[in-house]
Amino acid sequence: MDTPIRVTIWNEGRHDKSDPKVAAIYPDGIHGCIASVFQDDPRFSVRTATLDDPAQGLPDDVLNATDVLFWWGHCAHAEVEDELVERIWQRVMGGMGLVLLHSSHYSKINRRLMGTVCRSKWRFTDDLERIWVIEPGHPIAEGLPEFFELPLEEMYGERYDVPAPDELVFISWFSGGEVFRSGCCYRRGSGKVFYFRPGHETVPTYHDENIRKVLKNAALWAKPAGGPAPTFGKYDGIHAGEAGV
Amino acid sequence: MDTPIRVTIWNEGRHDKSDPKVAAIYPDGIHGCIASVFQDDPRFSVRTATLDDPAQGLPDDVLNATDVLFWWGHCAHAEVEDELVERIWQRVMGGMGLVLLHSSHYSKINRRLMGTVCRSKWRFTDDLERIWVIEPGHPIAEGLPEFFELPLEEMYGERYDVPAPDELVFISWFSGGEVFRSGCCYRRGSGKVFYFRPGHETVPTYHDENIRKVLKNAALWAKPAGGPAPTFGKYDGIHAGEAGV
Amino acid sequence: MDTPIRVTIWNEGRHDKSDPKVAAIYPDGIHGCIASVFQDDPRFSVRTATLDDPAQGLPDDVLNATDVLFWWGHCAHAEVEDELVERIWQRVMGGMGLVLLHSSHYSKINRRLMGTVCRSKWRFTDDLERIWVIEPGHPIAEGLPEFFELPLEEMYGERYDVPAPDELVFISWFSGGEVFRSGCCYRRGSGKVFYFRPGHETVPTYHDENIRKVLKNAALWAKPAGGPAPTFGKYDGIHAGEAGV
Amino acid sequence: MDTPIRVTIWNEGRHDKSDPKVAAIYPDGIHGCIASVFQDDPRFSVRTATLDDPAQGLPDDVLNATDVLFWWGHCAHAEVEDELVERIWQRVMGGMGLVLLHSSHYSKINRRLMGTVCRSKWRFTDDLERIWVIEPGHPIAEGLPEFFELPLEEMYGERYDVPAPDELVFISWFSGGEVFRSGCCYRRGSGKVFYFRPGHETVPTYHDENIRKVLKNAALWAKPAGGPAPTFGKYDGIHAGEAGV
């Protein structure tokens, strides 16, 4: 039996407490709702963390025991300490998976990893979102229909200023006239990064069955690969034929 | 428990019979040696097939029950029937994984899938090959060192005329002065294709432990994803909000 | 002064003759309309060719003197001779640019180059198409607004079964609820291939100013690069330090 | 006649002054040698800048009038002010081209743009470097042979920890047994970034004719594209059919 994949769901956790509308949708917090995706599946062990926990929820013993980190942030990006961003970045470089949700596109860690503006157009009025599977052969698309809808979501529209994804899994259509690259896979360092667009706090996106499939598929895809730890710096070299490897 | 991944190892199987040197290295054929990679691992079920078997080894009932097909061909590319190439291509479009080994870069099925020249430079004299892991975060690199060597291999050198791989896992260094993109991942249709360079018939490459790790990793990576079966053609469309998905 | 880029516009040329509606929109044929994009620009020399011309419009002396070939086909894909497809393919491998328009996604040459199914969903009723620029830094986007519209176009919808493009420049939004990767760049052999979605024969797409900018930009992008002609086959090698290059 | 491309060559400029060996190779500085690539070509206007110039060589009026910035840094990466790094980054996001040379892989601006470790193995003893053209159809390969050599160069070896390049043009072979992705193209924001590996200060790399071709080709490739300036933030949207674009 394989060791379970250790998933940590990090949530800013502010809207869920301050806005009764959000609290009604997510009585256990956005993190609680997402954690329930993994709870009864023996392939995973799951825990949650929020910004207002000690060490902003991710002390070393938690972060270093995380195989895949989910991240939901919005209004408090600036409060996340640079030191924590650095530790997360180091973990991704070392192989940890990172799944960035919705407004986390503008989190410090995403901006650090992407190296670009990481902004888009947005609007929250009355848009319906239709998410099309562009790569049906991608493991993150497992079990999905050709497209699925979210009856009300915040619109994010292109140009979304990020590097072209290594693999583009989803494109969203919005009823107001916009499109968005909604499922973007990146390999960074020895880690994998998946950005998944939907998830506005005032609508029950993370209760949607298709969304929950994507979250689980993303964790399986993003888990550490177990390849060689790269070495850097001065290298005397090994003569060809004497490698002993 | 997951259903085992159904692996079929297809080998041209001519050198192994006609050349005593090859037969000495691969008494059970190249296919037999590769099959032994999977034999005692419960995650896989494995069978073998060769060109001289009925239906060239891949009648519908075998091919349609294959999740990942390994392919080793060299001197008899032209004998593979176009009808079989078409059936393999259809299976890849539908999601089957395909692992193309060594001189299979010029097989009909690789040329069909790549759409390009699929040729390189080559030389078989006294080259040592050193294979560097370029993407340590890729699942095909699991368990490998930063590089490993094959003391004697046929040289393949760039320009290798194929589309830029979706993911480049390995680059080979040859003692004679050449380089080669040796581990190339492609998504084609709903399937995955991995080209892996080493494997000349007169040297014991498929007995090498690192090579065998790559083969197993490749099967795990290439297995069908289980995403939606795409539909094509005239589409009346579904009004937004009435999708019922 | 640079030598002009030699552009050839190939058009099937059947709808333009048989359908009065098409003839009214394109009195000089679709090829004539596209050729007029290049006519007064000294950076280009342009000629046209159609399926019903001798040698299907592309005898060797024309094809071999073409730097960038535009291709519009629809109802007569099957009539294009395999021998011509082979010659075009050889030219692309050797560095010629190829711009495939609209229903040419299912032409023999595109299917040969892509190696995949090359089909999509489609509908011609009353869809408005909105084309978003996804990569504003791409030369094919020069001079365009963030998005532009075609008030009536045939809908093509995902899944469009092609390899993930090397560069994705445009995504289309259709009023009926679909999306499409509408501007797809590929490097194949030593040549460049650009697929551009719009251009249904019964609507005046190639008269649109933004569309015409894209066509011109595409020709500039796709022109031969002038890199080394790769050599293939047995290679004795050159000892390091004795290259004389 | 097109407006000349405005090229600025930025050089740290320390080794050239402090090390007589470097000064002997580059009496006009590394920047002077690189500038001479562009000096007599009417397609370019060129100027130089060094770290010890006012505003570290790149006051706003210079940087904002630069279409393509070349960057050579090594021992003084840390002295480059964060404020300057930020201004360069903003310019790249806005469309400026950036060509990063040799040890500039670890410059602040490259690390900012790549979002990864940006380290490799290295050694300066007696390695010969052979640079293979992997994509002969790429404009940066114009006029080059299939490979060329530098008789003595510093070795950089994989794993080079950067995102997989959008286009990989060169792979280096080193006599000591290493390989390196030596010509890496990235699109970032609306700008283009090219990393080119060779150029150790104690060897006359920038006098080499093939290297000089690459530098010129890179400037042509990296020049601003002139696409739409993306807008970000709250977006009321434009009703389909009322775009007026």
Q: Is residue B89 part of a domain?
A: yes
Are C132 and A171 within 8 A, CB to CB?
A: no
ipTM confidence: 0.96
Q: Using an 8 Å CB-CB cutoff, list chain A residues near C136.
A: 159
Q: Using an 8 Å CB-CB cutoff, list chain A residues near D178.
A: 235, 237
Q: Is residue D16 part of a domain?
A: yes
Give per-residue pLDDT as tens, D39-68. 999 999 999 999 999 999 999 999 999 999
Q: What percent of chain A has pLDDT over 70?
A: 99
C96, C146, C211: best to mutate for the D interface, most D CBs within 10 A: C146
Of the candidates A60, A55, A67, which has an alpha carbon nearest to the alpha carbon of residue A87?
A60
Classify the phi-psi angles of B4: left when phi > 0, otherwise alpha if psi is within -120 to 50, otherwise beta: beta
Of the candidates D47, D79, D83, D51, which has an alpha carbon nearest to the alpha carbon of residue D65?
D47
Give per-residue pLDDT as tens, D172-230. 999 999 999 999 999 999 999 999 999 999 999 999 999 999 999 999 999 999 999 99
CATH number at residue D139: 3.40.50.880
Q: Is residue A139 part of a domain?
A: no
Of the candidates B59, B83, B80, B58, which has an alpha carbon nearest to the alpha carbon of residue B69?
B58
Q: How far is C126 from chain B (nearest CA, A)?
A: 11
Q: Is residue D239 part of a domain?
A: no
Are D228 and C136 within 8 A, CB to CB?
A: yes
Rounded average pLDDT over D18-33 = 97
Are B187 and A137 within 8 A, CB to CB?
A: yes
CB D107 within 8 A of CB D77: yes
Q: Is residue C214 part of a domain?
A: yes
Please give the Cα distance from C118 to A110 (Å, whole number): 34
pLDDT at residue number D1: 52
Of B227, B240, B241, the CB nearest to A136: B227
Number of domains in chain A: 1
pLDDT at residue number D245: 58
pLDDT at residue number B69: 98
Cis ω before C159 (30° cut-off from 0):
yes
Rounded average pLDDT over D73-82 = 98
Q: How far is A74 from chain D (nearest CA, A)?
A: 14
For D187, the domain range is: 5-222
Radius of gyration of chain A (CA): 18
Q: How far is C160 from chain A (nearest CA, A)?
A: 8
Of D136, D179, D181, the CB nearest to B159: D136
Q: Kindly list the residues of chain D whose beta carbon comes within 8 Å of any beta carbon in chain B.
A: 130, 132-136, 146, 157-159, 164, 167-168, 171-173, 177-179, 181
Q: What is the pTM of this model?
A: 0.98
What ranges in chain A are assigned the alpha helix state H?
15-18, 20-25, 29-38, 60-63, 82-93, 108-114, 209-222
Helix A29-38 / helix A209-222 crossing angle, nearest 10 deg: 70
Q: Using an 8 Å CB-CB cutoff, list chain B residues near D132.
A: 157-159, 178-179
pLDDT at residue number A23: 96
3-state secondary structure (DSSP) of residue A128:
coil
Q: Using an 8 Å CB-CB cutoff, list chain A residues near B178.
A: none
Work out the mean pLDDT of chain A and round it to a whole number. Answer: 97
CA dihedral over D199, D202, D203, D208, signed as positive or negative: positive
Q: Is residue B146 part of a domain?
A: no
CB C159 within 8 A of CB C152: no
Is the model's pLDDT at A209 over the cut of 60?
yes
Rounded average pLDDT over A210-220 = 98
Q: Using an 8 Å CB-CB cutoff, list chain B residues near A166.
A: 166-167
Rounded average pLDDT over A86-93 = 98
Q: Which residues contact A196 (CB under 8 A, 6 or more apart)?
A: A99, A100, A101, A102, A170, A182, A183, A214, A215, A218
Residue with token string 């596109």? A105
Long-range contacts (CB closer than 8 Å, 24 or more residues apart) made by C178-184: C178/A132, C178/A173, C178/B235, C178/B237, C178/C121, C179/A132, C179/A171, C179/A172, C179/A173, C179/A179, C180/C120, C180/C155, C180/C156, C181/A134, C181/A171, C182/C131, C182/C156, C183/C131, C183/C140, C183/C214
pLDDT at residue number B245: 59
Of D134, D167, D181, the CB nearest to B159: D134
CA-nearest residue to D187 within chain C is C137
C116, C129, C138, C173: best to mutate for the A interface, most A CBs within 10 A: C173
Are B159 and D130 within 8 A, CB to CB?
A: no
CA-nearest residue to D177 within chain B is B173
pLDDT at residue number C241: 87
CA-nearest residue to D146 within chain B is B159
Are C239 and B177 within 8 A, CB to CB?
A: yes
Please give the Cα distance from B31 to B57 (Å, whole number): 12
CA-nearest residue to B193 within chain C is C163
pLDDT at residue number C177: 98
Q: How far is A125 from chain D (nearest CA, A)?
A: 9
Are D232 and A161 within 8 A, CB to CB?
A: yes
For residue A121 the two structure tokens come to: 């157009």
Q: How far is CA D57 from CA B133, B139, D33, D51, D148, in A?
A: 39, 45, 17, 6, 33
Q: Using an 8 Å CB-CB cutoff, list chain A residues near D236.
A: 123
Q: Is residue D133 part of a domain?
A: yes
Q: Using an 8 Å CB-CB cutoff, list chain A residues near B240.
A: 128, 130, 149, 175
CB A109 within 8 A of CB A85: yes
Give per-residue pLDDT as tens, A123-136. 999 999 999 999 99
pLDDT in tens, chain B (245 residues): 579 999 999 999 999 999 999 999 999 999 999 999 999 999 999 999 999 999 999 999 999 999 999 999 999 999 999 999 999 999 999 999 999 999 999 999 999 999 999 999 999 999 999 999 999 999 999 999 999 999 999 999 999 999 999 999 999 999 999 999 999 999 999 999 999 999 999 999 999 999 999 999 999 999 999 999 999 999 999 998 887 65
Q: Using an 8 Å CB-CB cutoff, list chain B residues near A142.
A: 225-227
Of B117, B189, B233, the CB nearest to C121: B233
Q: How far is A17 from chain B (nearest CA, A)?
A: 31
Are B178 and D179 within 8 A, CB to CB?
A: no
Is the model's pLDDT at A108 over the cut of 80?
yes
Spell out, as residue ranges, where chain C has pLDDT lower than 50: none
CB A159 within 8 A of CB A120: yes
Of C133, C210, C245, the CB nearest to D149: C245
Please give the Cα distance from A222 to A139 (Å, whole number): 10
Q: What percent of chain D has pLDDT over 90?
A: 97
Q: Is residue C59 part of a domain?
A: yes
CA-nearest residue to D106 within chain A is A233
Are B158 and D171 within 8 A, CB to CB?
A: yes
